[in-house]
Structures are given as structure tokens and as C-alpha cells.
Chains A and B, each alone.
Chain A
Amino acid sequence: MSTFEERKAGFLAIELDGAGYQNLAAAVLAAESAGFHAATFADAPAPGRVNALQRAAFVGPVTRNIALVPEVDTVYTEPFHISTQLASLDYVSGGRAGWIVTAVDSSEAAAAVGRSHVSGEALAQEAAASVEVGRRLWDSWEDDAVIRDVATGRYLDVDKLHYVDFETPADFAGPAYSVKGPSIIPRPLQGQLPVLAAASLVGEGLVPVDSVDAVLVSAPTPELLVAEVRDVRARLGAAVAVVAELDVVLDSRGQPAVSRFASSAESGSTAEAGRARFVGSSAGLADVLDSLLKEADGVRLHPAVLDVELEELSRLVLPELRQRGSLRAPLQDGTFRDLLGLERPASRYANTTIAAIGSEN
């Protein structure tokens, strides 16, 4: 019985990178109980940063409702490993996993695995290929491939397992490769994990829009963000969810955000060039988010200092947004697909019933 207002209500994600690994469980539980719908985990190479997918897996069993969405690079990683790891994350989180597709542009990352540096348009090609491999492998076991049929002694129905036979396209910029399949793990609980990517990576000639479920949209200022969200929606169409990216620095514990910002900038927080930043009071942020959530399907917040901002967000900002009806209620025991309003898809390999429909009776 959802009213228009409820349908318009959006979701909030929070970047948990600032929690490191020691206080991870406490941080994600705080975010979950504050009412955040999703937690994301940054993974670009940085000193002290523990693998994002493993951080997401670690918090899987200690949480219940919050979606867990790690960044995973597509350029210097093995698509077969990524696909298995993400499917496994879906198992350990009870269907709450997603994937933020990244394409690392870094000569250090290339040197670490002994490959040549990939840059420019080739990055999107690598990402597109990895996403395609991942998605095919997730489909390579149909949902009912495990049959445990005692009478015939068959654990699997091999007709429901499929070779994916992926090959990089002819115009692929990097070294060509192929992946045979099938996966080594049954289909993920969600069938397909929701795939997210920066809007700049998605579109014609880049990662195809129909291979992502949501895009992350950035703009240099909060004011420009709404316009950018509209532009991206116009460019990519209505089928893809749009998530706006926002850094936040809040007044806290008697300290104005502006002065906190000056010191957090020095200590090198999660801030990224080109991403809008809100610096100010909780009430001010609630206004900004209220209008953003009218345009975007969701907003991802990047707190300047996780503990501090999370406290303000949970005490003041999220309750205010719920009050105004601009924030959705947390999903109880739902999947990440449920949150994004996505159906659970059938495997692309599922046998379409070849039935002679009423033709010769």
C-alpha cells in the first residue's frame, strides 16, 4: 500500500573505509542500527587498507539487514576469482552482497602483478569484460542444479550447469583472454548480485549500461549534484538506479564542521577530488539530503571521520529524514536486490521450455 511519497523515499549508503579493520563489527552495527541501507568498502591501494571484499565478508554474519558492497578492481584481478569471491560474499551475508566495479588506473598496481599499465578507454573495456565474465559465471549454475537425487545417485543435474565460454571481443585493447567455466560455486542467493559503477565508467563504448544496476554520480559541489543526477539519468535511462556521492563533515561535540574539516583534510581522510562535500550542521545536511533524495534513488555518504559523523548522522540526520518521509524504512531480512527494487532474474542459460503451444492438437 505504498503511497507516492513512500515510493519516492530513497536509501542511504555509508562508506565504512574509515573503520579500518579493528572496529569493523562495531562500526557496521552502528550504521545498521542508525538505519543505513548499505555499507560500502573502498579498495583502491592505500597504506593500511585491508582487502575490501574480506572486510565485507567479515561483517556478513554479524549484521542482518544492511547491504554489503565492496569495491573490487577489474583490471589487475582474475575475473574467475572475483566472481567466486562475490558469490561467496552473497552466501555469507544471506543475499545482501553487491559489487562496486572499479578500474584501477595506476602504474604501481600494474607493476605489482607484472602487467603493463592500462589507462584511458581500455580501463572500461577491462571492466566490461570482467563484469560479463562475473555475470555469466553466476548464471552458469541454474538455480536448481543441485538435485541430491538419491535414486539415481546424482548430486547435480549436469544439464543445469553451463560452460560460459567467454572470449574478449576482437577490438579488446589489452591482452586477449578466455574463461571456460562453469563456476565452482552454485548460483549466488540473489541469482545476480547488483553491480554498481561510477557513472563515468558506464555508457556507450564503456561498460554497457545494461550490465550495471546502479551508477554512482559525483559532482564538484552539492549544488551541482542534483543537476548531475538529472543529466546522468537522462543519459543512461530509467532502468539504472542513481546514487549520489557526498562527503560530509558535520558540526560535532561543540566543534564547528569548518574547523574540523581543516584538520581532517590535513590528516588525509577519504575525500576524493571532484566529489561534492557538505560542511556544516546536521540540520543543513538534512535539507541537502532531502532534496537529493527527491532526485536520486539513494545517496552514499563519505564521512570525514567515521565515528564522529556516524554519531551525528544516527542521532540527528537520519531520524529527521525519516520524519520528513524522504528516507525509506530499513529493509528487514531483505536482499540487496530487494532494496534496489530488482526482481530475482532467471539464469540466462535456463532452458526455455520448448513447448508447442497449442499448435498441433
Chain B
Amino acid sequence: MTQHNRAIFQPTGQIQFGIFFQGVNSGTIWKASESGSQTDFESFRRIVQTAERGKFAAFFLGEGLRLREHLGRPHALDVAGRPDAQTMLAALAAVTRNIGLVATQNTTYNDPADLAHRLSSLDLISGGRAAWNVVTTDNAWTGANFRRGGYLDHADRYKHAEAFVETAKRIWDSWETSSGPARPVLHEGQHYTVDVTPRLARSAQYRPVLFQAGDSPDGRDFAARQADVIFSAHPKFDDAVEFRRDIVARSVAAGRGANAVQIMPASEFILAATDQEAQEKKAWVRSLQIGPQQAIAYLEQFWGRELTEYDPDGPLPEIDPAVEETSETRGSGFHGAKARQLADQWRAEAKDKGLSIRQFVTSRTARVDATFTGSYTAIADHLSEYARVGAVDGFNISPWLIPTGLDDIVNHLVPELQERGVYPTDYRGTTLRENLGIETPVRSTESVPA
């Protein structure tokens, strides 16, 4: 057997899909007549079973622990309101067999022993299909919903997250054998102490698979040390290749193999039989995602004031933002942008390109970069190129329609990818770890205090 150099990345030549069922966003269109409920269990059942028919590796649920706001009130325009991730995934475990069940869970507003226990519960109930997407939201605004309040400095969030994940791993490692007995886990840290004797044995996949979402240098280093898979924000080809290079370097520096961390970027697919049709479909989807009110509201987030008197089909407002920073923007991820500077920049750009408010906002929304538009064959060819060079390990798809948003992908794109030999024709096993091809962790004895 040839000994691969663990410092050199080896493409697998394969890609896999996950689905990111987003409960809160402007990307999921609700205005179309085909659009169903965001909260009914049947929506979740339908979409997870479609994904499983398409041999998707994983079903993701996001998390947001405070309702997003706009100008000081809950945001009225976008889809909002979602079930608790682990509760929903436990229910979906009963109606699926192979697909991985990924819960986005925050390290700031959970307790490590409690979260580790609940994730183990999901892992056992699902027969070894659970995963944790580690996120690190830290704002006091979200903290207002919790006992501790907003207690964590921004600069500390990854230190805290790392101690949290380490503790969870020690809890999952603490079993002498897969059935027992467990040794106590102690952690005394800056933010909390944990003293627990774990109660649940290892699952069929040893412990939940770890995903990470977060893009800063600290976030990437944290992922390189701790995660099995990164839920990245870099789906475009060149960007994806560069991100892979960066993660490989960080994983090797962290003492893990070049292939140790998989990458699945967030993405959106707008597909049809021909490229022409797909482009038309995209225009239709965008018109429903960014309606006139969404376009104005988007600018209002940065301007920090009402702009309802402006014409969505006219130029960007001449009036200046009412705020220094876009701190009013609760929960949208734009904290701290310099409002005036941004406004000047945007006005210039829109004028340059001759864009109306609505056209400008459509061109700016995050998903534009994450969208694959084209015919089934063209996109299958394009994705095969990702597989060939190993730009990514897969894509985490946010459907723009619930619950039928995966139908065309599963019915048309997946078979094309299978024909090209770059997509699994069946599940490799029953656990998520097996299906992703991730090695079983080696129990670290040093991590368990005697």
C-alpha cells in the first residue's frame, strides 16, 4: 500500500450535496403560489425525503436565537419563524434512514454538558447520523433572550468556542469502551466550569460529526483544528480553489492531514432544460426574492432610517445615513459597516452601472455569488470540474422554494452527475461519518483526566 503524504491534498473526484433548510431569509420565496408552509412538519418531511431520494449526505437546519429586526421592530418582509433544530431533526430521524441530520447550535448561548448530551441523544436516536454545525454568534442583542445575557466579548468568541468544543469532545470521548463506564469530565475556564459524568455511550459513528460556519481568520483556524467539515461561503470556482488551499495549509499547520477537513459551500441552484430557460427562471426568482419593499428595506438597514418615499425603480437616495455604523441592523450580519462611506460607494457604483435601487440591491444580495444558473448538463459539467480538482467536497444547497425546491435537482441534476461518475449512486453506509468518508476519531487518553 502506498503511503500518501498526509501533507499533500488528494482530490476525491466526488461531490456530495447537503440541503440547508433556511427558516429565516429573503432567499426563500413565499410569494409564489407553489410556495408552502415554512413550519408545517409536512414541509420538512417532504423536503428531507426528496433529499434522501437524491442521496444527499445531509440535511441542515440553521439557528437564530432572536427574531431579526428592522428599524427597531421585527422584520416584516422576509420568511421568519423556525422550529428548534434538534427537535425537528429528532422527528425527521423517524422518517429517514441514511441522510445526515445537522443542527446549527451556538456556543455562546448553550452549556457544553447539556448541548453535548442533547447532540448525543440525536446521534443515538438517529443511529449515528447527527452533526453539529458550530456557530459563534455573540451579540448582546441575542443575549437578551438568555439567563446570562450578552456576556461575551466579540474578541473572545472563538476562544470560548474552542474551549466549548474541546469540552464536548472530551464528554464524547469519556467512555472507556463504547458501552462504558464513563469517566468524569472537568473543565474550569474563563466563562464557566463544567463537572460532569457523561451518561450516554458512543453512537454508531462514535460522536456527532462537526461542521463549522464562520469565515474570519480565527474562524478558519478554529475549523482547521476542530471541524470535520466547513460550511463555507465560497462556492465560485476560483474562490473555492483558493479557500481550499487556505484550509489545507491551516489543517497541515494544525497537525492534521491535508484532507482532514471537508468543505461544503453554501449555494443556490436555478436550473432548467436549457440555459435560456434557466436565465428566465432566475429573473423570475429574483423578482420574487427582491420585491420593491425588500429593495427599500435593504437600503434602510444601512441608512438607519426610513426610505419609503424613495422609488425602488429610481436612483439610490441622496439623503445621508442617519447612523455612523449599521448597528441598527439586528441579526442581518452587517454590524459595524461604516454607513456614510458605504452609502457614497454604493451611490457611485449604482450611477456608474445605471442601476435602480431594486437592480442594485438585487445585484448585491449575498446569494448572487452563490448561485449556479444553467441547464442540467451545463451545471453537471461545471460541478464535475470542481470534483476533478477537489475545489470542494460538496455543496450545501438552500432551496429557493419550500417544499418542492429540490425536485429538479434530484430528478435531473443528480442523474447527470451520477452518469459522470462524480456523485454517489447510493449511500456508503448508515452513519453520516461513513457517508462522508470521515475517519472515526481516535479516543485521546490525554484528553481525559485520570
* A residues in contact (CB < 8 Å) with B: 21, 24-25, 45-51, 53-55, 57-62, 76-81, 84-85, 87-89, 91-94, 108, 111-114, 141, 146, 148, 150, 152-158, 161, 175, 177-186
Taking a contact as CB atoms closer than 8 A, the residue among B30, B74, B91 that contacts A158 in the complex is B74
Q: Would A175 and B67 be within 8 Å (CB), given that A50-B124, A92-B91 are in contact?
A: no
Total number of B residues with any Cβ neighbor in A under 8 Å: 63
Tell me which residues from 169 to 204 in chain B have a Cβ below 8 Å from any Cβ of chain A: 180, 192-197, 199-201
Q: Is the CB of B125 within 8 A of A184?
A: no
Hey, which chain A residues are within 8 Å of B114, CB to CB?
A: 76-77, 112-113
Given known contacts A148-B30, A185-B83, A157 and B76 CB-to-CB distance under 8 angstroms = yes
Q: Find the A residue at minimum CB distance from B122.
A: A54
In Å, the complex CA distance between A59 and B41 comes to 13
Residues from chain A with Cβ under 8 Å of B110 in the complex: 78, 81
**Which residue of B91, B145, B294 contacts A153 across the interface (Cβ within 8 Å)?**
B294
Closest CB-CB distance, A164 to chain B, in whole Å?
Answer: 9
**Residues of chain B lying within 8 A (CB to CB) of residue A158:** 73-76
In the bound complex, residues from chain B placing their C-beta under 8 Å from that of A77 are 114
Which DSSP category, helix, strand, loop or mixed, fits chain B's interface? loop
Task: Report B235 CB to chain A, min CB distance, Å.
Answer: 26
Are A48 and B77 closer than 8 Å at their CB atoms? no
Do A57 and B90 touch (CB < 8 A)?
A: yes
Contact A21 B84 (CB under 8 A): no
For the complex, what is the distance from the CA of A62 to the CA of B95, rounded to whole Å? Answer: 8
What separation, in Å, do the CA atoms of A58 and B89 have in the docked complex?
Answer: 8
Q: Are B199 and A48 in contact (CB under 8 A)?
A: yes
Out of A79, A88, A154, name the residue touching B83 (CB < 8 Å): A88
Docked-complex contact A179 and B195, CB < 8 angstroms: no
- In order of increasing CB-CB distance, the 3 nearest A-B pairs are A153-B293, A92-B91, A51-B121
Closest chain-A Cβ to B380's Cβ sits at a distance in Å of 34
A185 near B77 with CB under 8 A, answer no
Decide: A78 and B147 in contact? CB cutoff 8 A: yes
Q: What are 10 contact pairs spanning A and B, CB under 8 A?
A: A54-B87, A55-B125, A76-B114, A78-B147, A88-B87, A92-B91, A146-B81, A148-B30, A153-B293, A155-B78
Would you call B144 and A180 a contact (CB within 8 A)? yes
CA distance A87 to B41 in the complex (A): 12
Given contacts A55-B125, A61-B45, A94-B41, contact A184 B65 (CB under 8 A): yes
**Chain A residue contacts of B147, Cβ below 8 A:** 78-79, 175, 177
Q: Are B146 and A61 in contact (CB under 8 A)?
A: no
In Å, the complex CA distance between A156 and B76 comes to 5
Q: Is B113 an interface residue (CB 8 A)?
A: yes
Is B45 touching A91 in the complex (CB atoms < 8 A)?
no
Nearest residue (CB) in B for A129 is B147
Complex CA distance for A328 and B67, rounded to whole angstroms: 42
Q: Is the CB of A155 within 8 A of B79?
A: yes
Contacts of A48 in B (CB 8 A): 199-201
Asked if B76 contacts A185 (CB within 8 A), the reply is no
Q: A47-B199, A89-B87, A92-B87 are known contacts; what are 18 more A-B pairs with Cβ within 8 Å?
A: A21-B121, A21-B125, A53-B87, A54-B121, A54-B125, A58-B94, A78-B146, A84-B83, A87-B83, A91-B88, A111-B196, A113-B192, A155-B79, A155-B80, A178-B149, A180-B66, A180-B144, A184-B67
Quick one: closest A residue to B191, CB to CB? A114
Given known A47-B199, A81-B84, A114-B111, contact A60–B94 (CB-CB < 8 A): yes
A57 touches B81 (CB 8 A): no
A182 vs B45: C-alpha distance when bound (angstroms)? 27
Choose from A58, A76, A113 the contact partner of B91 (Cβ within 8 Å): A58
CA distance A154 to B74 in the complex (A): 11
B64 at the interface (CB under 8 A from A): yes
Distance (whole angstroms) from the CB of A108 to the closest CB of chain B = 7
Residues of the A chain whose Cβ atoms lie less than 8 Å from the Cβ of B199:
45-49
- Chain A: minimal CB distance from B53 (Å): 17
Given A61-B91, A78-B146, A91:B64 Cβ within 8 A: no
Q: Is B86 an interface residue (CB 8 A)?
A: yes
In the complex the two chains form, is A58's CB within 8 Å of B40's CB?
no
C-alpha spacing A47/B180, complex, angstroms: 10
Among residues of B, the one whose C-beta sits closest to the C-beta of A179 is B145
> Which of chain B's residues have a CB closer than 8 A to the CB of A113?
111, 113-114, 192, 194
Complex: A182 Cα to B330 Cα, angstroms: 14
Instruction: Assess the B82–A112 pair: CB atoms within 8 A.
Output: no
Q: Is the CB of B113 within 8 A of A112?
A: yes
| Cβ-based interface call for B351 (8 A) | no
A154 x B293 contact (CB < 8 A): yes
Looking at the assembled complex, report how far the CB atom of A307 sits from the nearest CB atom of chain B, in whole angstroms: 19
Known interface pairs A54-B86, A54-B90, A61-B91. Does A184 touch B293 (Cβ–Cβ under 8 Å)? Answer: no
